[in-house]
Amino acid sequence: MEKLCPECGEKIIGRVDKKFCSDYCRNSFNNKLNKDSKNLIRNINNRLRKNHRILESFSLKDGKTKTTRYKLLDKGFDFEIFTSIYTTKKGTIYYFIYDLGYLPLDNDYYMIVKRE
C-alpha cells in the first residue's frame, strides 16, 4: 500500500510509520495547523515585552521610582497586559510584568518597582 504525504501529496518512502515525505512538509503542515494559536501567543508576548521595556526605561532608585499615567501611556504602555498580581497583607495591589511592577497611586501617579 502506497502512503501519500498529507501536505504535498508525494509518495512517502521510508519507515512504515512515516507521515510526511520531508521535514519541510512536516513543518509546513504543523505551522498551518497551529497558525491561529501561535499568532495569539506571539501577539501577547510582544505586548508583554513592550510593557516590560517601557517600565525598564525608567531609572530606578533603590528599586523603585514614581511616574505619571500620562508618561506611561505616551510611551505606549498597555495597562491591560501583565503577568501577575501581587497583593500585600495591607491589601495593596501591585501589577507585575515579569520582574518589574507598578502600583497605582493617587492623582494618576504610579510607582514602578523591581522584584528581587
CA distance 68 to 19: 56
CA angle (116 as vertex; 76, 101 as ends), nearest 5: 25
Residue 47: CA count within 13 A, CB half-sphere: 13
**What's the predicted TM-score (pTM) here?**
0.69
Indicate whether 9 belongs to any domain.
no
Indicate whether 12 belongs to any domain.
no
The range of the structural domain enclosing residue 87 comes to 23-114
pLDDT tens for 69-105 read: 999 999 999 999 999 999 999 999 999 999 999 999 9
Count of structural domains within the chain: 1
Cell (9 digits) for 108: 494618576
As a whole-number percent, the residues of the chain with pLDDT over 90 amount to 78
Indicate whether 2 belongs to any domain.
no
Indicate whether 56 belongs to any domain.
yes
In sequence order, the 6+-apart residues with CB closer than 8 A to the CB of 94 are 85, 86, 87, 88, 101, 102, 103, 113
CA distance 41 to 74: 25
Cell (9 digits) for 16: 512504515
